[in-house]
Homo-oligomer: A and B are copies of this chain.
Amino acid sequence: MQKSVVETTFHIRYAETDQMGIVHHASYVVWLEEGRSSWLRAHGKSYAQFEREGLMLAVSDLQVRYIQAACYDQRVTIRCWIDEVRSRQVQFNYEIVEAESKAILANGYTKHVCIDQHGKAAKIPESWQQFLRQG
């Protein structure tokens, strides 16, 4: 089945660099998150709605492979798609590319578990599972 890949493009912010003169590796983690926010929006929902239903998708695993340095003022594209949806877990995959050349700067994934307002593991509601599976 074809995956629905959502692309989000923006300029790299100065604050995202460090004294190496390139983007700090923790900034990419924030970009991945913005990639997933954007995936949900592009499919018609907001992660904000998920939280309004009293649930949260907490990150349980994070992996990033840094391939090529990124620089201030460059435009980057975050490519995000869903790898797998299970009743209690969802995995997003990512590729970060230089917006014009499409050179791959990094790739990675995040796994998320559903937790309720008391911090307990919970099932992802059926409606959300279906929503996520469309991607």
Contact = CB atoms under 8 A, between A and B. Distances in A.
B10 A47 contact: no
A60 to B, nearest CB: 5
Interface of A, helix, strand, loop or mixed by DSSP: mixed
A65 B61 contact: yes
Interface string A25-50: 11001100110011001000011100
A108 B29 CA distance: 15
A37 to B, nearest CB: 6
Interface residues on A, range: 35 or more
14 contacts: A13-B30, A13-B33, A14-B24, A14-B37, A15-B24, A15-B33, A19-B19, A20-B56, A20-B58, A25-B59, A25-B62, A26-B33, A60-B65, A62-B65
Closest 10 CB pairs of A and B: A17-B19, A26-B29, A25-B59, A15-B30, A48-B73, A62-B64, A19-B21, A63-B63, A17-B18, A46-B73
